[in-house]
Amino acid sequence: MEKWVGLIGLIGLFGLIGLKHRIPAGTPGGLVRLCGLFGLIGIGGFWFGPLGASGAFGALGIWNHPTEKYARLARLGFLGIIGPLFFLAHWQSSGQTDNVADDADAAAQKIAYSQEREDCVFQQPLGMALFGDLHVHTGFSFDAYAYGVQTTPADAYRYAKGEVIPHLPIDDAGNMSGTAQIDRPLDFVAVTDHAEFLGEVQLCTDTDSSSYTSDYCIGIRAGGLQVMRTIATALTLVPAVRISPICPAGDADCLTATMIPWQRTIEAADAANDTSSDCSFTALVGYEYSGSPDSSNYHRNVIFRSSAVPKLPVSKFEAPLDIYLWRQLDGVCTAEMGCDYLTIPHNSNLSNGKMLSPYADMPDTAEAKTEYANARLAREPLMEIFQHKGNSECANGIPGILGAPDELCELEQIRRIGNPGRGGFVYFEDGKLSFSELQDNPTRYCDEGEIGFGGIIGMGCLHRNDFYRTALLTGLSEQNEIGLNPVKLGGIASTDTHMSTAGGVSERDWRGHIYTEWNRDGRLLEPSLIPSGKDGNPGGLTGVYAVENSRDAIFEALKRREVFGTSGPRIKPRFFASWDYDAGLCEAPDLLAKAYSGGVPMGADLPPAPSDNATPKFLVSALQDAAPEATPLQKLQIVKGWIDADGAPNYKVFDVAGDAETDAGVDLQTGERVGEGHSTLCAIFEDSEFDSSLNTYYYMKAVENPSPRWSLLDCVSYADDARPDVCDNPRIATAINEQAWTSPIWFTPQ
């Protein structure tokens, strides 16, 4: 805009020329007079600044110069001189800025809605931070229903919007007698109930079903740990098979029954999704693909662009591995039907190397690896790096990885080297289940080439591909081999709540995400089949930078990886890379416009280096959570990963803004925070160690001051003489540094 205001001022300069030289209207110089007329445009430009008005004065100066009546007014045409000065000074700098703003404006206007809706009134061309939860379970999920959760997808969306919904405990009549309400509404949510066993739960809860009175269904309705174990056993088989007597493989009644809750899920999302011009809330359709081969986590959330979705979700029973999931979804979710999807793996920290390691069950050929990499690049752009079952961002001590220990990797780290464990394998042969002998299965590091088992129940070896930071290095190594990166993943976070409490992440009012956690005794004292309880946490949130709050805008942000995750707080991080950012960019009033015009945002690739000695420059910035009692920021970091000339994987963490050391902390007697921090941080970081011959990634972390963990807040709520011993367990954290993680920016040598 400033460019065009400056141009109007330039036109106004003709008015000054006309006044100075008193060019008669009837002479050839009248062309100047004609140009001055265009200065009248400046009247409209006046609303954008006085430069536009100067054009109007210039026009008066040229049109009326012989008349003394207008002479004084005409002399104000001298203001036109400001126009060209402004124009010249800003043509280069704001020219690029305006192009980006214009492009972004165009992008905002050109969002191709996949389904009929009103245009959003509020759009932000440079992206608005929206917060949501893409991993939410309701009573439709077998492992929630088994413990008395009766809430539905409609309830989950109501909770996310700020309404009160039912919650545990269960009263004597078998109803949920508690209530829950989020502290702040979310911008978007996807309900992702398990696709597996939707049909079984439907058949067992429908009184008109012929299976309703079966022993199997009576057991399902009775619920409890043993029932949940019996159901889930099918998912640990390799390959997973339907073993329930009411729902054998390919059974038509079972598939028909699955359609009922699936359709209700779609309808709930459509009903909750705001398609008015207000665009106040987005409800995405999704489900969870839930494999647990040999009790290792292999779960993925499937998120759809719109409600044009397959008739049935593709589950682990139909697609035993990720490549088969993408192939089958590609066949039933086509562009012709208006369908589009992406998948998001979660809890790689419990996967024993199975989830993120590429090429499972594929031939060891370049062609097969290329096929896999292309499929994953197209359909799996993200992973969930934090949720209520722990931190999947990083772990210290993984063999073969070069890099200094990072104390912030200990945030909600539930896998601890040396933890004991015993487990075995389940088989399904001749229509019967059989079990192997138990064997020691402690938590240790996987040997080279080893894939472990038992992670979903907290056992087995830790693999380098169980964590985001080191799995990204695997992607760089593979890129060196095949020319494509099969682990090119952005990062998000979510809750994985099984209580319909989407985005319920408050440490001060955590009501639990599974059945044992609804009160403080359960959270601190009850054992759990999965790593949770005292080892669990309230989970995180997904952040996206989208031009508006609509399904299509959010889906596009997810696809291009312009997303981030937080451990709960609504921190707003920004991360850009360039070859020539100015050192003073943080002080620029049009910082974001210049960041986009001169570089690339999180989730993107740096273009080729302009010269052999060029070094990348990074803009890092963050705003603290805007809530009144939010914890301030402590520092910003950049995590760099690369494969060196010898083929070894490396990482390094740089403190780039804020305070590396601080006196901020938590009063362990009261649970209150102490110390000062930052409401906003910004810096330009130049990587002086950069080697343009190496595949490299960078991502940013925003770190808060220490704040009280939910477990400390629960412990201080007890009377001194009633406080349980677990409150003094040094392995249970009392204070945490909440964090936000951006998606990486990658560099590939040419």
Type of residue found at 448: E
Pairing of β 649-658 and β 563-566: unpaired
Query: Backbone phi, then psi, for 300, in 5-degree steps?
Result: -140, 140
Work out the mean pLDDT of the chain and round it to a whole number: 87
Nearest CA-CA partner of 737 in 666, 670, 657:
666
* Domain spans in the chain, listed from the N-terminal domain onward: 2-91, 133-541, 570-747
| Six-digit token string for 562 | 């312009």
Nearest CA-CA partner of 542 in 253, 284, 262:
284
pLDDT score of 95: 34
Nearest CA-CA partner of 320 in 354, 350, 353:
354
pLDDT score of 268: 98
Whether 691 shows a pLDDT value over 60: the answer reads: yes
Determine how many CB atoms are found less than 10 A away from the CB of residue 330.
14
Give the residue, 344 or 55, on which the prediction is more confident: 344
Global confidence as pTM: 0.86
Burial class (CB in 10 A: 0-12, 13-18, 19+), 371: middle
Whether 25 shows a pLDDT value over 90: the answer reads: no
> What is the pLDDT confidence band of residue 110, given thresholds at 50, 70 and 90?
low
Q: Are 493 and 539 in contact (CB under 8 A)?
A: yes
Task: Count CA atoms within 13 Å of residue 217 on its CB side.
Answer: 18
Nearest CA-CA partner of 470 in 351, 299, 603, 302:
351
pLDDT score of 49: 42
Q: How far apart are CA 695 and CA 749, in angstroms?
A: 6
Whether 320 shows a pLDDT value over 90: the answer reads: yes
> What is the pLDDT confidence band of residue 298, given thresholds at 50, 70 and 90?
very high
> What is the pLDDT confidence band of residue 589, given thresholds at 50, 70 and 90?
very high
Query: Backbone phi, then psi, for 741, in 5-degree steps?
Result: -125, 130
> What is the pLDDT confidence band of residue 430, given thresholds at 50, 70 and 90?
confident
pLDDT score of 397: 95
- The residue-averaged pLDDT of 650-655 equals 98
Whether 573 shows a pLDDT value over 60: the answer reads: yes
Block residue for tokens 């936000």: 740
> What is the pLDDT confidence band of residue 289, given thresholds at 50, 70 and 90?
very high
Block residue for tokens 């200990």: 410
Helix H, strand E, coil C: the string for 180-202 is ECCCCCCCEEEECCECCCHHHHH
Q: How far apart are CA 490 and CA 322, in angstroms?
A: 17
pLDDT score of 426: 83
pLDDT score of 16: 44
Q: How far apart are CA 493 and CA 8, in angstroms?
A: 48
Nearest CA-CA partner of 459 in 424, 427, 429, 489:
424
Which positions ≥6 away from 254 have C-beta within 8 Å? Answer: 199, 200, 203, 242, 246, 247, 248
Burial class (CB in 10 A: 0-12, 13-18, 19+), 83: buried
Q: For the chain, first and last CA: distance in Å?
A: 37
Q: Dihedral angle at the C-alpha atoms of 167, 169, 171, 172, nearest 10 degrees?
A: 150
- The residue-averaged pLDDT of 98-113 equals 52
Whether 43 shows a pLDDT value over 70: the answer reads: no
Whether 624 shows a pLDDT value over 50: the answer reads: yes
Q: How far apart are CA 15 and CA 254, in angstroms?
A: 82
| Residues facing 426 on adjacent strands | 435
Lowest mean pLDDT among 431-435, 484-488, 533-537: 431-435
> Would you say the C-alpha torsion 66, 72, 73, 77 has a positive or negative sign?
positive
- Write the pLDDT tens digit of every residue in 491-521: 999 999 999 999 999 999 999 999 889 999 9
